[in-house]
Amino acid sequence: MEIILLKDMGTLGDKHDVVTVKNGYGRNYLIPKGLAVIANEPNMKKLDDIIAKEKASEEARVDEFKAMMTKLEGQTLKIGVKAGTSGKIFGSVNTIQVVNAIKEQFEIEVPRKKVVLAEDIKEIGTYDIEVNLHHQAKGKMQIELVQE
């Protein structure tokens, strides 16, 4: 059964992807929960319209994204973490912590999926991260982990 995903579904696919799933999974779980619709001809036409509208609204926000990136690019974000005496932190820093710190320190809301960590962050120090708000608004910034 081919379906159109209405939400991001991790390993299954992203929003608006057309994927093939087993009949029971689609009919008994995805469609009743509102996570997908059947990929028939009318729904495919609606999908094209929805994708076109989303792209147009995103293109209209390009200037806003660029302004956000000029504010963020080259900045250093400080995140307080708990760490042992050797400098190794308890757990690791993830994108949720980075997004919350950006919101707190710069008053800018960045979607979690737009932040890219190049490596696992498990020790105190300074690390480079990427923020990809749009294909025309990308930038790099640093995060500095400090012991609380």
Tell me: pLDDT of 57 over 90. Answer: no
Q: Please indicate whether the domains covering 2-60 and 63-147 agree at the CATH topology level.
A: no
pLDDT digits (tens, 9 = 90+) for 95-144: 999 999 999 998 989 888 889 888 888 889 999 999 988 878 888 999 99
Query: Is 2-60 a domain of CATH 1.25.40.320?
Result: no
Residue 27 burial (10 A CB sphere; 0-12, 13-18, 19+): middle
Integer CA distances (angstroms), 10 to 1, 41, 67, in order: 19, 25, 30
Looking at residue 36, its pLDDT comes to 93
The listed range with the strongest mean pLDDT (31-40, 54-63, 107-116, 129-138) is: 31-40
pTM of the model: 0.65
Looking at residue 50, its pLDDT comes to 87
**Could you tell me which of 76, 87, 63 has the C-alpha nearest to residue 136?**
63
What are the residue ranges spanned by the domains of the chain?
2-60, 63-147
**Could you tell me which of 82, 80, 71, 84 has the C-alpha nearest to residue 98?**
80
Alpha-carbon gap, residue 68 to 54, rounded angstroms: 20
Residue tagged 């932190």 (tokens): 89
Query: Is 63-147 a domain of CATH 3.10.430.100?
Result: yes
